[in-house]
Structure 1
């Protein structure tokens, strides 16, 4: 059965008809019909979020991660335009990480839609800095040096689905560990680090190609230069992930970092289970006791300077990248489609072309930079729409 959508491409502004069959885009043709409504749809490849710890009250890092948690996070993300995401498993005991990996693997094996929307798992820790600041809200008790055998055990539990691993280059054995992961096809990102320039260069030489939420997971006060943020901004071999939720990076920092990285940046949400929940204090595996403020800032109760992930969906980062960072709609959308797909080596995702997966996000832009998601399509099938949600 063929399905069809009409709207303006985000990359060119051209109004087109997109047709798909069996989950694959078959054709993209110019649309000559007159526009019938002022808020005509924009069409982009489906949005990709490489860092999702939970959302809408469902936690992927609790004591026990369930298939239900994973499915509910996915369905909540659909309403915000996300068609692909990396469940992100953070620092914890070996047993807890293994259990989460098994649950995600089982969820994908038992649910075809989840297998479609989860192209890989992001392991963020436990091979991170134990230092206050760079450690962020990760539990110091479980921070440790890279262990190839331990990682292999988790990869087996995940059914080979771990696609991205965040590592601090200064950890003992980090460089050979990074090289080994890269040789097996796992992408490595530098993060939660206080590495010196030499250690950062060793990580890049070993194959690290990304920076996890650059500008965060850092000391509150740093030497003006050199420091590990400047070093990663200046390294052209690193694609930087940024959290543009309005809290992780101030407007001037976000604007400067986007300019520094030019077309080598990706937007992520780093969302946790408290996204969409009312303000208050909560218990969490990320940061233990955390406080969600009315303005959406999520911080540790012990030290309000330390953030505990984000309570905002990816769409807020797209809006802020345009509003605060001063970039174009095309550039912002590329940062959640084309660039993450290229960085992760997922050729079927992130592009509008015949032969690509029919993962689409259809939306309107209101009041300059406010984005209103209208429809989310995975494999040619509508998984969420404004019309269906209003019934």
Structure 2
């Protein structure tokens, strides 16, 4: 199989020859008109996908078919690899989600390749309004290593990332235990003091989950948990650059502060992503999907998850932060792979041919043609 496309890093036309699931060769195509050529890049990797099309990984009705449906929809948006994400809930609800996911992967080699690990976003998060976000207050609780280990057993050892609020009682010890077991610990949905943020990083936390979201509406102007995470060189940060979660000036400041070498882009797609505008019930509450994909609590400006996919985040981060297309692609491919300890995926001979073909014009949005 041979693909003619523009290289995402150089914008130059190349012939990508694929054989046996790997890139066999990458050959320049000088003097080739580029007007009709798609672009080619490694497929997206997203560390935080909660579901889509009305299917949530926390749902008691989750099935293996549902997991396959979410994965197929993600592929349409260029997401070749992702971490199914479970949020705050009861012990049994979370165990059910991980059990279904693990069984689906055990029975399907393609799912196993697409889903290399799970993300547990909660329940060890702040119970305060603001930092708690849309997570149910009644299930927010202090970290419990024995409870986590039971979930890890249900997941077949596949929990690869966990988001924790470091101010919770026992959080620092939990961070040390999780980090030493090989799980990537993220700080998120937190009301921590700056000193608690620093202590969490020292204990082994490596990144921040959707920095700037899941926060109080009003913070001290200098001493606060956003500045502290932004300033900490030991912490990376994921950002939701869907055009709704963060304003352009904040995205630009965060990317410049962390640099593209320590930022990963996530869409944080929720169970309502991909659904037409309207009102829906989820988590026992009512939410509204607005035209354009923004999801809110009806009658309020408060966000309730993300209705976008990773492809929609690329154009926004290029425009908001002033980065190159190559930087934006790296933040959605190389950075999450590096953070999760996955093999690198680059356009080079011998590398896996998990490729994305897309259309893009400077200043515009990425339009995915297909994942190869």
Query: Shift of the alpha carbon at 1:30?
Result: 2.4
1:218 paired residue number: 215
Query: Shift of the alpha carbon at 1:206?
Result: 1.3
1:303-314 equivalent positions in 2, closer than 5 A: 304-314=300-310
SS state at 1:290 partner: strand
SS state at 2:227 partner: helix
1:102-141 equivalent positions in 2, closer than 5 A: 102-141=99-138
Q: Does residue 234 of the first structure (1) align with residue 231 of the second (2)?
A: yes
Does structure 1 retain, via aligned residues, the 8 Å contact 2:60–2:96? no
Q: Distance in 2 between matches of 1:267 and 1:54?
A: 17
Q: Distance in 2 between matches of 1:354 and 1:186?
A: 31
2:25 paired residue number: 27
5+ long unaligned stretches in structure 1 = 378-391
Query: Shift of the alpha carbon at 1:63?
Result: 2.2
Q: Distance in 2 between matches of 1:239 and 1:18?
A: 32
SS state at 1:370 partner: coil
1:38-49 equivalent positions in 2, closer than 5 A: 38-49=35-46
Query: Shift of the alpha carbon at 1:33?
Result: 6.1
Q: Does residue 356 of the first structure (1) align with residue 351 of the second (2)?
A: yes
- Deviating 4+ runs (over 6 angstroms): none
Q: Distance in 2 between matches of 1:44 and 1:78?
A: 14
1:142-157 equivalent positions in 2, closer than 5 A: 142-157=139-154
Does structure 1 retain, via aligned residues, the 8 Å contact 2:263–2:335? yes
Q: 2:367 aligns with which of 372, 375, 379?
A: 372
Q: Does residue 189 of the first structure (1) align with residue 186 of the second (2)?
A: yes
Q: Report the TM-score when normalising by structure 1.
A: 0.91
SS state at 2:199 partner: helix
1:209 paired residue number: 206
2:195 paired residue number: 198
Query: Shift of the alpha carbon at 1:251?
Result: 1.6
Map Cα deviations across residues 302-342 of structure 1 (whole Å, 9 max, x no partner). Answer: x8343211001111111111122222111111110111111
5+ long unaligned stretches in structure 2 = none
Query: Shift of the alpha carbon at 1:367?
Result: 6.2
Map Cα deviations across residues 29-85 of structure 1 (whole Å, 9 max, x no partner). Answer: 3234623x5131211111111110111232222123211111000101111111001
Map Cα deviations across residues 247-289 of structure 1 (whole Å, 9 max, x no partner). Answer: 100122112212211121111011112112122221112x822
Query: Shift of the alpha carbon at 1:193?
Result: 0.3
Query: Shift of the alpha carbon at 1:126?
Result: 0.1
SS state at 1:291 partner: strand
Query: Shift of the alpha carbon at 1:370?
Result: 1.9
Q: Distance in 2 between matches of 1:218 and 1:232?
A: 13
Q: Does residue 316 of the first structure (1) align with residue 312 of the second (2)?
A: yes
Does structure 2 retain, via aligned residues, the 8 Å contact 1:45–1:361? yes
Q: Report the TM-score when normalising by structure 2.
A: 0.96
